[in-house]
Amino acid sequence: MIYADNAATTKMSDKAIEVMTELLKSTYGNPSSLYEFGQQAKEVLEHAREDIASVIGASPRDITFTSGGSEADNQAIVSAATFGKKRGKTHIISTAFEHHAVLHTLKKLEKEGFEVTLLDVHEDGLVRPSEVESAIREDTCLVTVMYANNEIGTIQPISEIGAICRSHGVLFHTDAVQAVGHLPIDVEKENIDMLSASAHKFHGPKGTGFLYARKGINLTNIIEGGAQERGKRAGTENVPAIATMAEALKESVSRIDQTSARLTEVRDRIIEGIGNIPHSALNGDHAKRLPSNINFCFEGIEGESLLLLLDDKGIQASSGSACTSGSLDPSHVLLAIGRVHDVAHGSLRLSLGEDITDEESDYIVKSVSEVVTYLRSFSPVWRDLESGKTAHIL
Amino acid sequence: MALYSEKVMDHFRNPRNVGVIEDADAVGEVGNAKCGDIMKMYMKIDDGIITDVKFETFGCGSAIASSSMATELIKGKPLTEAMQLTNKAVTEALDGLPAHKIHCSVLAEEAIKSALEDYENRKKQ
């Protein structure tokens, strides 16, 4: 099996499983309990907070543990909106290809009277800092732009956007779920006010994540019921998972240079191979993308069929076709970079794991090529393209 | 639990009656690429009987399986019987489809009806 869907979730590392198993046995006390056994759990929790803060260049008190990236995104946006509204600022800037945890939260705020500007991400899948600046108004309370896109892997000019926001006195949040643990991040240097992360994207456990919010930002509770996390997020802390997240993050970051170099090499080898398939195109900028991300569109085929046949060949991947999303429209990300519906249905995302071998990468290229050729052999869309009845666009 | 039944996967992996009939007596095409599904059916019809049928499909696993099953259900059958084939019959023959994939079986029914309509139109000319 070649698991190439690491943007969906990752395998927990051996170290993470070891740490978590031990903590589940030994550290089940409630950190809010006053006796020593509870306080030991509290110590483990605070130690994890320090580790995570130091990895992203933050202060421990700026880290709030959440159930994952979606909750962190929700809380960051709602907090900025609440703060803004009190001062009469109800305009938010974001992009058309954010994760739905951001887009759906913004939709909800629109119903409450907020005005949202979604910036164009252009054909290369990159936000232009100058366009962020032009979009900022007197009443803008928040700019939220993802660090790296979850489908096409493009890495945004975060520090430049952050600098612009800071110079205009506007809060800047970034959904860094795909970036944390995979790219070096420093919230101070990159002018980031708020950042969301999720443990299971960097070989940690599911159901755990964190929100970084710079000192002075007053978070709004979205879960009420207790004084945990300085009163900003109720619920008994999942100490074993949180501490394991910290371990997994340290482990990932400690070898970021070597995994990046290795993955970039394999990624480019696969991009070159798949790029040789006629009438295919890479989605998103090639250079400014996550080392693990490959995303292609193929004319004349539909993504779900492609995924099922790749699964038969032992390759697990993902697609932005409507059939895989359960809606009638293909991926909003692919539409945002200007792919037409017909082509967006025929997309494939491969997100590589660090242990991928050269043989496996060659096998991926060979398999994708075979499956695309096979599906095209009985596709009426492909027949029309090849006969000249319709025009090729890729 | 797998997304699809064994029957669906069998017809998806080994689709029956795939291809084109160059001198078809009837051709039907339904769906559109924008929605992600297109089915095209070709038929040879002799004395009111569908003697051969082939299909081409652009679509998901269940769209390909539905096309395959639909062609199996009408091959060698009289036109009157083919005309009455419902999407429900296609779905049942496939041991069911997930709720959001039922439209694939509807498309298969429509592809057959579209081809039969084409046949009627050709006869009139």
Looking at the structure, tell me whether residues A136 and A265 fall in a common domain.
no
Four-point Cα dihedral A233, A238, A239, A245, nearest 10: -90
| A394 assigned to some structural domain | no
CATH number at residue A356: 3.90.1150.10
Q: How far apart are CA A268 and CA A272, in angstroms?
A: 6
The domain tally of chain A equals 2
Could you tell me if A106 and A194 lie in one domain? yes
From B28, which residue of chain A is nearest by alpha-carbon distance? A380
SS (H, E, C) B53-88: EEEEEECCHHHHHHHHHHHHHHCCCEHHHHHCCCHH
Secondary structure percentages of chain A, helix, strand, coil, to 5: 45, 15, 40
Show which of A226, A254, A282 is a domain's final residue: A254
CATH code of the domain made up of B6-124 = 3.90.1010.10
From residue A93, give the alpha-carbon distance in Å to each of A122, A155, A338.
Answer: 16, 18, 20
Domain ends where: A211, A239, A254? A254
A215 found inside a domain: yes
Q: Judge if A182 and A263 occupy the same domain.
A: no
pLDDT digits (tens, 9 = 90+) for A9-38: 999 999 999 999 999 999 999 999 999 999
A362 lies in a domain?
yes
For residues A215 and A261, state if they share a domain: no
* A125 domain residue, yes or no: yes
Residue A325 pLDDT: 61
Residue A102: inside a domain? yes
| Interatomic CA distance for residues B36 and A13, integer angstroms | 38
Q: Tell me the residues of chain A between 345 and 384 that have a Cβ less than 8 Å away from chain B.
A: 345, 378-383
- Reported as a pLDDT band with limits 50, 70 and 90, residue A324 is low
ipTM: 0.96
A382 and B40 within 8 Å at the Cβ level: the answer is no
For residues A274 and A170, membership in a common domain is answered with no
Mutate: best of B60, B71, B104, B114, partner A, most A CBs <10 A: B60
Q: Alpha-carbon distance A260 to A354, whole Å? A: 9
Last residue of a domain, one of A254, A284, A319: A254
> In B, which residues are within 8 Å of A345 by CB distance?
33, 36
Q: Is residue A393 part of a domain?
A: no
Q: Which member of B15, B34, B58 has the closest CB to residue A380?
A: B58
Mean pLDDT over A41-48 rounds to 98
Could you report the per-residue pLDDT of A160-213, keeping only the tens digit for each? 999 999 999 999 999 999 999 999 999 999 999 999 999 999 999 999 999 999
- Asked if A379 and B58 come within 8 Å (Cβ–Cβ), the reply is yes
Cβ proximity of A148 and A178 under 8 Å = yes
Residue A20 maps to a domain: yes
Domains of chain B, by residue range, sit at: 6-124
**Domain residues for A321?**
255-387
